[in-house]
């Protein structure tokens, strides 16, 4: 078991070391300039969206909102229009060109995340993507800043996304307060 632990940590360390530091700097600039920050994801990525909306709000004083947290609107949209519109329909009413969308998707192929990115793009909002599995995934194509993790393992991709988001909170908590 000890060997598996060190292998897991080693893989994540190797993948994260491939991230261009200019992407971290660009993401920080987008976060600091955004009027509002919207986060979306499914499953564990939705949990991260909720967690980091809270951390960006409390720790960095950013206006951050997870579109994953309102079960009433999510289920109403899913029931009436289809699950693939759960986030895009919300963004149509909320996002502006002054805002930022953070799209978290391990596979980068979730229709509701793709549709959210399409609306953000239509509204000229900035987009940060966190994806994995395949560099040519649809969500990755939208990012003004792209954090792609070159792995097909959910645990590796999700853990890496978590570290990236936590670092963005920490660096902005230390260096920036609105």
CB 35 within 8 A of CB 98: yes
What's the CATH superfamily of 2-175?
A: Glucose-6-phosphate isomerase like protein; domain 1 (3.40.50.10490)
Q: Lowest mean pLDDT: which of 1-5, 126-130, 133-137?
A: 1-5
String of DSSP letters for 88-101: HHHHHHH--TT-EE
- Length of the chain counted residue by residue: 178
Q: How many CB atoms lie within 10 A of CB 34?
A: 21
Structure tokens at 22: 């200019």
Structure tokens at 125: 């909002």
CB 10 within 8 A of CB 2: no
User: What percent of the chain lies above the pLDDT cut of 70?
Assistant: 97
pLDDT score, position 91: 97
pLDDT score, position 124: 97
- Average pLDDT value for residue range 82-101: 96
pLDDT score, position 136: 94
* pLDDT of 115 strictly over 60: yes
Confidence class for position 174, pLDDT limits 50, 70, 90? low
Cα–Cα dist 78/87, whole Å: 10
Cα–Cα dist 32/166, whole Å: 15
Alpha-carbon torsion angle 82, 92, 127, 42, nearest 10: -30
- Listed in sequence order, the DSSP H helices in the chain are 2-17, 21-33, 44-60, 71-80, 88-94, 111-122, 154-175
* pLDDT of 177 strictly over 90: no
Q: Find, among 25, 151, 164, the residue nearest to 102 by Cα.
A: 164
Residue 96's alpha-carbon distances to 15, 60, 127, 141, in angstroms, are 33, 21, 12, 20
Q: Could you tell me the residue ranges of all domains in the chain?
A: 2-175
* pLDDT of 55 strictly over 90: yes
Q: Which residues pair with 132 in a beta bridge?
A: 149
């Amino acid at each position: 078991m000890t060997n598996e632990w060190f292998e897991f940590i080693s893989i994540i360390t190797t993948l994260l070391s491939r991230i261009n530091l200019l992407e971290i700097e660009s993401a920080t600039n987008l976060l600091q300039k955004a009027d509002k920050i919207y986060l979306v994801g499914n499953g564990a990525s939705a949990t991260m969206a909720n967690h980091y909306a809270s951390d960006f709000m409390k720790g960095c004083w950013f206006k951050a909102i997870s579109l994953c947290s309102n079960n009433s609107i999510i289920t109403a949209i899913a029931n009436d229009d289809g699950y693939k519109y759960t986030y895009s329909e919300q963004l149509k009413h909320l996002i502006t060109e002054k805002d930022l969308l953070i799209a978290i998707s391990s596979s980068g192929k979730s229709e509701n995340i793709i549709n959210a990115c399409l609306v953000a793009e239509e509204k000229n909002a900035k987009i940060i993507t966190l994806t994995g599995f395949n560099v040519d995934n649809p969500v990755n194509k939208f990012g003004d800043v792209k954090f792609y993790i070159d792995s097909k393992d959910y645990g590796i991709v999700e853990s890496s996304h978590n570290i990236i988001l936590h670092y963005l909170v920490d660096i902005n908590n230390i260096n920036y307060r609105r």
